[in-house]
Amino acid sequence: MTLQEQLIEKTERYSAHNYHPLPIVLTKGEDIWVWDTDGKKYLDCLSAYSAVNQGHCHPKIIQALKEQAEKLTLTSRAFHNDRMGSFLEKLCSVAEMEMALPMNTGAEAVETAIKAVRKWAYEVKGVPNNQAEIIFCEGNFHGRTITTVSASSEEEYKHHFGPFTPGFKLIPYGDAQALEAAITPNTAAVIMEPIQGEAGINVPPEGYLSATRHICHRHNVLFVLDEIQTGLGRTGKMFCYQHEHDAKPDMLIVGKALSGGTYPVSAVVSSKAVLEVFTPGIHGSTYGGNPLGAAVGLAALEVIEEENLAERSHLLGDYLMRKLEAIPTNKVAEIRGKGLMVGIELHKDVGPARPYCEALMERGMLCKETHETVIRIAPPLTIEKENIDWMVDQLTEVLAAE
Ligand SMILES: *Cc1c(COP(=O)(O)O)cnc(C)c1O
């Protein structure tokens, strides 16, 4: 057995099998590159589902991590720490919001958003207790906790995990009329992704987000965007909703690249009017807002701004899209996306995307299929044009017409 086979065997023996990774063992990462234990180098076109927008082991983020790790890592929120304020000040400025509530993982931040909008519904909007409804979209992905899968339409995420959290309604994604029809006097919020990532890079029709915002405001319903995957530069803007005029949400949920892939940091960012429903003792997290996460989060946000990563994503994403559309192949049904968040949907009769991801891996390009038939392309936003040329060459050969 090779070293990689031994490591995979050990991992598979002791780990619950809740993932089906490609057969590769990574040991090192730098910028857009990762290396396996044989020393083979790969171009990372997944970026840990957009957590590594700034590139692997970004020197500035790692420096912040090291310095803070040697000083103070965790106080709990029983005491103030000297890093959280500056981090949240930066986050609020980047998100153009007034207040933030820091958590750790994305799913926890979504749970926090759900708690916030329910409490707002009872205490501000005046919905009768325990009657609040939240509207979600079919095909959504908001995490893997019981409550976030309760809001899912995906049978695979839910099978034998019931009973589920009540109070959620599903509507078709991309249909503003369906949203308006689903609103009742008890609706607290609509929570959606501005592009559905896990569902296969589903881009809604132009104008959908601003229409949603206006419908929400007309009915005194909070408009909440889960930008955990689409935010922080990924789609060619700091936040994906900024592609549309007048589509700013009442609340943003962020995670993933908020720490540049070093340490779980997430947050809910909103107005004072909404987040002031939280009073001492009613919600919390031992690690949420810890000084290590705060130091890393501040550095991660600074890197996105200093290196113009949103602008890079916009320019290079357009370049990538044009090149992908020019690939001579009869296997591709559709290419979708914004910025450097792109999905290549294969024709149904071509079969699953996984063998193509395996073939790309052999060629030194790491991708992961999403939703069976979609090859997802989402490299770190620090990628250069010549790397995109190389990437498209690999795809061209793998997708060559037979
Ligand atoms: C990844 C993701 C989540 C969940 O984040 P975790 O850190 O894995 O809990 C939630 N929403 C969206 C849109 C995501 O992409």
Q: Which of 141, 157, 227 to mutate to test the pocket of ligand 1 (most atoms within 8 A of CB)?
A: 141
Q: Do 295 and 315 fall within a single domain?
A: no
Where are the alpha helices (H) located in 143-279, listed in sequence order? 146-150, 155-158, 176-182, 208-218, 272-275
pTM of the model: 0.98
Question: Of 87, 90, 136, 141, which is the active-site residue?
Answer: 141
Is there a catalytic annotation at residue 256? Answer: yes
Between the CA of 142 and the centroid of ligand 1 the distance, in Å, is 5
Regarding whether 328 and 231 lie in a shared domain, the answer is no
209 and 332 inside one domain: no
pLDDT tens digits, residue range 322-337? Answer: 999 999 999 999 999 9
Classify the C-alpha dihedral 104-106-112-117 as positive or negative.
positive
Residues 227 and 295 in one domain: yes
CATH number of the domain at 331, please. 3.90.1150.10
Domain that holds residue 392: 3-54+308-400
pLDDT value, residue 61? 98
The percent of residues above 90 in pLDDT, for the chain, comes to: 98
Ligand 1 proximity of 112 Cβ (cutoff 6 Å)? no
Q: Give yes or no: residues 153 and 267 share one domain.
A: yes
Query: Which CATH number is 249's domain given?
Result: 3.40.640.10
Residues 6+ apart with CB under 8 A from 365: 42, 43, 45, 391, 394, 395
Same domain? For 25 and 138 the reply is: no
In angstroms and rounded to an integer, the radius of gyration of the C-alpha atoms of the chain is 21
User: Cβ(333)–Cβ(348) under 8 Å?
Assistant: yes
Pick the catalytic residue: 31, 226, 278, 368?
226
Task: Let me know whether 253 and 211 are in one domain.
Answer: yes
User: Is 296 in the same domain as 190?
Assistant: yes
What is the distance in A from the centroid of ligand 1 to the CA of 49? 9
Q: Which atom of ligand 1 is nearest to the CA of 226?
A: 13
Query: Hey, which bits of 138-228 come out as E strands?
Result: 168-171, 187-192, 222-226
CA distance 134 to 142: 13
Residue 296: its pLDDT value, please?
Answer: 98
Q: Do 64 and 134 fall within a single domain?
A: yes
DSSP 53: T
Residues of the chain predicted below pLDDT 70? 401-402
Catalytic residue, candidates 256, 331, 338, 368 = 256
Give the chain's domain count. Answer: 2
- Beta bridge partners of residue 309, listed in sequence order: none
Nearest atom in ligand 1 to the alpha carbon of residue 266 is 7
Report the distance separating Cα 75 and Cα 97, nearest Å: 26
- C-alpha 226 to ligand 1 mean position (Å): 8
Q: Which atom of ligand 1 is nearest to the CA of 253?
A: 11
Residues 320 and 268 in one domain: no
Going from the Cα of 121 to the center of ligand 1, the distance in angstroms, rounded, reads 24
* 143 in contact with ligand 1, CB cutoff 6 A: yes
Atom of ligand 1 nearest to the CA of 51: 1
> What does pLDDT average to over the chain?
97
User: Which residue, of 257, 288, 306, is where some domain finishes?
Assistant: 306
